[in-house]
Structure 1
Amino acid sequence: MNKKLQTIGWVGLFALTAALLLALSGLAISKPGAEESRVIPAPALDEQAKPDSREEVAVLAGGCFWGVQGVFQHLKGVRNAVSGYAGGNKQTARYDMVGLGNTGHAEAVRITYDPKEISYGRLLQIYFSVAHNPTELNRQGPDIGTQYRSAIFPMDDEQAKIAKAYIGELNRARAFDAAIVTKIEPDQAFYPAENYHQDFMVLNPNYPYIVIHDRPKLESLKRLFPDLYRAEPVLVSAQASN
């Protein structure tokens, strides 16, 4: 993702111009460079909300954390979504090191949610359907490397069981054009990313990478899951100031 913080060049400018023209014309459902979203069934196996449970946590990785965070910030039932790193150790949980691709970390998002409003299985449905393409191995779109892998970091055995069952279910149903390559990686700590990565999509809506690759995900969320879409995102910066 280091390259995204540099100039995008003529190719990127051309893609951005094309995306904006299509958007203005109202003809585009998905824009150039965006991962394709699709309708998939909800998981047959899901968690049951406990009467006394107020908050649960899910950690998911699906390419650049800007877009994944942005999607879940607009999801009803989500109380917080923080960009960060998972899969490696604390000493290497830094953007400049993770970007080298040899730390074991993946760019990930820690999602705090109310299980009485949205279940872990429904989070996975959004994750597979809208947030990223689970059939791309060690990459998402233009971003290549193990730090951009598709990975689920379960908090407990129940989450791991639900994730494994859902992947099997989607593969058997041939919900995608290729097999899902998402890894399930238990017992991994999450480390928040640097402040300038938090709320990036919200704070930089016209940033070229966001326009091309991430804003279409929000459009897909609103179109495919209108009952779950929330217009006003929950922000890390707002919670930090409370």
Structure 2
Amino acid sequence: MTMSMEKWVAGGIAALVAGLLVLAGSGLGRPVHAAPASVDVPVPTGAADLRQPGVHRAQVVFAGGCFWGVQGVFQHVKGVDSAVSGYIGGSAADARYPRVSSGGTGHAEAVQVTYDPSRVSLAQLLQMFFSVVHDPTQRDRQGPDRGSQYRSAVHADDAAQRAATLAYIDQLQRSGVFAAPVVTRVEGGRRFYPAEDYHQNYLALHPDAAYIRFYDLPKIEALKRQYPALYRDAPRLVMPVSVR
């Protein structure tokens, strides 16, 4: 199994910092996590709800930094049938992890979420995305990861989804819940390419990895705390996908 050097280094540094914080802390021996802070965002209003009784399958693609944590969060959401890590924004020839990691392909690391809109609405998915999945005020970065491949974006080919997402971003901007402007892009019309098999279910399969413990597991805890009615303990894993 391979991992980009930047994530290996970031995970190692994170583990070292966490260990030093424990030693310098209260002496109680509890681990200290510098987890990204979750935010309580307002409930989307108006058309952003998009509940669809009788419709049991819809898709939307979220890009919010490293796809390990984004996938991991949505796999714990009731009503989400699958969350697949992959790439969006560039060409098929460049939809490979080593190329995407270079930052020059136009691709973003992203997660295609297939969900049942009669059980979980787009509004609820958007709330999770903007509150616990990532920091939407960070441009081309999340946590230790830097580059356009880590940009914040929502890719929706459905016009109603795009309109609802734009309306919610406007609502967030006006609410003042974030200290900085939301920089999330809303796009459509781009093909999603599943990532290599070793990236699928990464959080669930490697919970002890330093990067996962430091940057991603706190997101799962925030999801459980902020959205208990939609949280499921056992993640919905995906089967291996075909690599082009």
TM-score for the superposition, normalised by structure 1:
0.90
In the aligned structure 2, how far is the partner of 1:5 from the partner of 1:225?
29
- Residue 128 of structure 2 is matched in structure 1 by 126
Q: Structure 1 residue 226 and structure 2 residue 228: aligned?
A: yes
Question: What residue in structure 2 maps to residue 89 of structure 1?
Answer: 91
Deviations 1:11-58 (A, max 9, x none): 333224257788x86686xx21x2210111111032433343111001
Residue type of the partner of 1:186?
A: G
**Whole-angstrom distance in 1 between the partners of 2:12 and 2:70:** 26
Q: Give the equivalent residue in structure 1 for 2:42.
A: 41
Q: CA deviation at 1:155?
A: 2.1
Which residue does 2:183 correspond to in 1? 181
**Which amino acid in 1 is paired with 2:132?**
V
- Alpha-carbon distance in 2 for matches of 1:203, 1:12: 19
Aligned to 1:58: 60
- Alpha carbons of structure 1 residues 10 and 200: separation in structure 2 relative to 1, 3 Å: closer
Aligned residues: 236
Distance change >3 Å, CA 145–CA 54, structure 1 → 2: same
SS at match of 1:209: helix
Q: CA deviation at 1:236?
A: 0.6
SS in 2 for 1:6: helix
**Does the 8 A contact of 1:19 with 1:212 survive in 2?**
no
Residue 114 (str. 1) matches residue 127 (str. 2): no
CA positional deviation for 1:228? 1.1
CA drift of 1:4 comes to 4.4
Task: Classify 1:239/1:113 alpha carbon distance in 2 versus 1 (closer, same or farther; 3 Å).
Answer: farther
**C-alpha distance in 2, partners of 1:116/1:25?**
45
Amino acid at match of 1:222: K
- Answer whether contact 2:84 2:113 (CA < 8 A) is retained: yes
Deviation at 1:115, TM superposition (A): 0.3
Question: Which of 159, 163, 166 does residue 164 from structure 1 map onto?
Answer: 166
Conservation of the 8 A alpha-carbon contact between 1:16 and 1:208: no
Unaligned 5+ runs, structure 2: none
Name whichever of 38-47 and 74-83 sits farther off. Answer: 38-47
Closer, same or farther in 2 for the Cα pair 1:38/1:226, shift >3 Å? same
Residue 238 of structure 1, CA deviation: 8.2
2:8 touches 2:211 (CA, 8 Å); kept in 1? no
Change (3 A) 1:161 1:19: farther
Structure 1: runs of 5 or more not aligned: none
Q: Is the Cα contact below 8 Å between 1:80 and 1:113 reproduced in 2?
A: yes
Change (3 A) 1:4 1:16: farther
Task: Tell me how large the CA RMSD over aligned residues is.
Answer: 2.3
Distance across 2 between alignment mates of 1:9 and 1:225: 27
Give the structure 1 partner of residue 200 of structure 2. Answer: 198
1:79–1:108 CA distance, 2 compared to 1 (3 A): same
Matched with 1:78 is 80
Amino acid at match of 1:125: Q
Letter in 1 for 2:203: M
Checking the alignment, whether the CA contact within 8 Å between 2:82 and 2:114 is kept in structure 1 is yes
Sort the Cα spacing of 1:224 and 1:27 in 2 relative to 1 into closer, same or farther, 3 A. farther
Higher deviation after alignment, 126-135 or 228-237: 228-237
SS at match of 2:239: helix
